[in-house]
Homo-oligomer: A and B are copies of this chain.
């Protein structure tokens, strides 16, 4: 009697979790490995970063989500190496063997060769990123309230977001809502709506992956809420008190104390390990170039999905690192495993692009769904609904719905706490 087929899944994000859930009734034993004990709904991280939601509302403990799958175990561990010849994954403090390995380790921030910018301009990939950004944003208003010098006060009230993709646009919109409405009555010396929000984008338009028409609608919505959008602009320097931006020939230094990074991601370092141990090729941002069935060339038992994978077999350009791609690839590789175990053949992965959306502010969003582009209130409602439905746990949906209803009715963003080590001194 052959031993049961062991599937090890590295990563409990969209790719790994959807793969695990799709294998629920398969004749396999699954182990999901993650460095964190929860699945994170990344599309709503910007809401935690701007005090609209609490971390607990967008994160679901992996054990809780998977505990009814009797064939699935969860391990909290950090992967430091692979041994494909021995079908083994190596942890910092142990190891595990597999018959099929699904690597869904995701992505991290990319500072384009300027790693020194990381502490100055935090990105938005983890819960801790989000609460740190929240801390800096709220801190800036507190510092402005106590600052006597007008120039230094203006710098505290200037916020620069680098990157006008969906993350940057959504951050800018939420930040504008905070400044203009949520905090409106909270201060006595400053007027929070004096805050300047500057959104910097290297490409010619905001939301570069979207159509020009949607980019234009988004730009108009941003302008309406007072966000200064600067396209064709590249950041050349970041200091604790300024950002230098180059547009064409001109260079400009913006005095600011709060800079947020939404400009680029690179693959998890596991990509390097995979390349080193299997000979797989990586792209410029470290993603593993995979076959049509998401496998590593020469290793049909190693599947790479989600933000870590470079899948180029559909339309010539690689699939973007977005949640729906990871979800569909997760389901696909689960299906592939089941078919192979049943002795059946497996077709190539085919991504069904059901559309994309970005929200700019209340009742202002852009969306392309089922091939139709639209914006405004309808897009905004679609955005709310779809994000709500994709939250993994039912209680999260209820809590987020309550929070959003409250935020909407009261302009209040209840989750705006400054937490963490040493919130003082003011001269950070």
Contacts and interface: CB of A to CB of B under 8 A. Distances in A.
Interface string A86-99: 00000011100000
Contact of A56 (B54, B77, B142, B189): B54
Contact of A416 (B61, B183, B403): B61
A41 to B, nearest CB: 12
A154 B55 CA distance: 31
A56 B414 contact: yes
A59 B417 contact: yes
Given A146-B75, A146-B77, A425-B93, A417 B56 contact: yes
Contacts of A74: 186
Contacts of A415: 56
A128 B131 CA distance: 13
Interface in A381-418: 393, 395-396, 398-399, 402-403, 406, 410, 412, 414-418
A425 B91 CA distance: 10
Nearest to A416: B61
Interface in A48-85: 54-57, 59-61, 63-64, 67-68, 73-78
Contacts of A399: 399, 402-403, 414
A151 interface: no
B67 A418 contact: no
Nearest to A29: B188
Contacts of A76: 142, 145-146, 418, 423-424
Given A37-B418, A414-B56, A419-B128, A64 B406 contact: no
Interface string A273-292: 00000000000000000000
A425 to B, nearest CB: 6
A420 interface: yes
Contacts of A393: 414
A251 to B, nearest CB: 33
A187 to B, nearest CB: 7
B187 A63 contact: yes
Contacts of A412: 64, 395
A421 interface: yes
Contacts of A146: 75-77, 93-94
A127 interface: yes
A240 to B, nearest CB: 17
A117 interface: no
A342 interface: no
Given A186-B64, A395-B406, A420 B128 contact: yes
A243 to B, nearest CB: 25
